[in-house]
Structure formats: C-alpha cells, structure tokens
Amino acid sequence: MLSQKSLELPTAETALEGRDTPIRISGTHHVNGRSMLPPFPEGHEEIVLGLGCFWGAERLFWEMPGVYVTAVGYAGGYTPNPTYGETCTGHTGHAEVVHVVFDPTEIGLPELLRAFWEAHDPTQGMRQGNDIGSQYRSVIYTTDELQRPLVDKSWQEYDQALRQQDLGHVTTEVAPLEAFYYAEEYHQQYLAKNPAGYCGLKGTGVACPVT
C-alpha cells in the first residue's frame, strides 16, 4: 500500500477520463451481511471519511456500535468510477475513503468524528505516515448540511488540541460529498478477509475534545 505518487491534485482538465460504468461489487458486507448499497434504513445517516489507507479505516468504523454498514471507495476527485490503480497514480484527485452509514439514535456524529481524529494524524497533508500520495489525504465529506457545523466544531477543537501539543495544524479537507465510488470487491472489508493484512492507522496520541 506504499505509494510515492503525486502530491498535487489534478484539475478537471488533467484528471484521468474514467468510465461511465461503476465497478461491480457483491454489495454484501463481508462481516455483518448487510447491504452496502442504498437504500438504507429510514432515519439512518451517512458520512464519508478518509484517514489514509482505507483497509484499517474501514475496520475501525464497522466495529463501532451503532454503525449499520461500511464500504470503502473513492471520493473528492474528478475521475468517474475510478479503479484502485488509477486512484493510486494521483491523477484522479480522489482520496481513499470509508462510507459510514449509522443510526443516530445509537451513535452520534461527534462520536464518529472523535474516532476519526484520534485514529490518524490529520496534520500531514498529502500523506499518512509512510503512505505518501494525494489519495491518502485526510478528508471529511458531509452528506447533510446539518452535519457541517458539527464537523467544523470538531475540526477547530482538534486543531487547537494539536497546536497546544506543538504537533502542527489540521490539514483535513472538509466539503459536501459530490460522489462516492465503490472500490473493488477485494478491498471491501479487506482486514476481515485478510486478518494479517496491512493497517496503517496511527494516531497522534492527542485526545479529541469533541462533545
């Protein structure tokens, strides 16, 4: 999963062309058997998070009580229906992300954001540890305008907590989700299928003060 690819995001004009046809997946979560594809149960919410390599990131969230289902994929770029290989070139503009569907009566967005911040180093720009490239950047893509104030509050509070420890500033990208493209089947719930597989999650050790 190591990459020495582009640290610069492409433009819409320079990004890879992609394709009209989505990558085909089974749609069934390997761990809990639920559908990774919409529609989801009424009242459930969605958030898309990127914190480096999506293998370990997905496991972090599928293990959390109140999370209904997860899926890994690509978001934040220009290329429609990209492949993993294309995303890793840095020429699609996408980040590796986890689509999290959750029941807000069991777990709130602040709890998910706390796990997000504490599981990685959001100060590193276009990398996460030894994983280097724009696809590994830290991102939060909201799916509801009501999510944005909670995300901004958590961003500001964790940025302050990191600065107090002289660990730098948060570089996490925050934006409304434009499109989520499912990754290939073998990436879905990868660490459940390959327990000894690579997991690059490594936090800063700084607790998130989100309330």
75 and 181 in contact (C-beta within 8 Å)? yes
Distances, alpha carbon 56 to alpha carbons 40, 47, 50, 98, 180, in Å = 23, 17, 11, 10, 19
- End-to-end Cα distance, the chain: 34
The rounded Cα 83 to chain-centroid distance in angstroms is 16
* Active site positions, annotated: 53
154 and 118 in contact (C-beta within 8 Å)? no
**Of the candidates 54, 206, 208, 194, the residue with the CA atom closest to the CA atom of residue 128:** 54
Q: How far apart are CA 98 and CA 47, in angstroms?
A: 8
Count CA atoms within 13 Å of residue 92 on its CB side: 24
Given the DSSP bridges, would you call strands 180-182 and 173-176 parallel, antiparallel or unpaired?
unpaired
Structure tokens that stand for 189 in this block = 């719930």
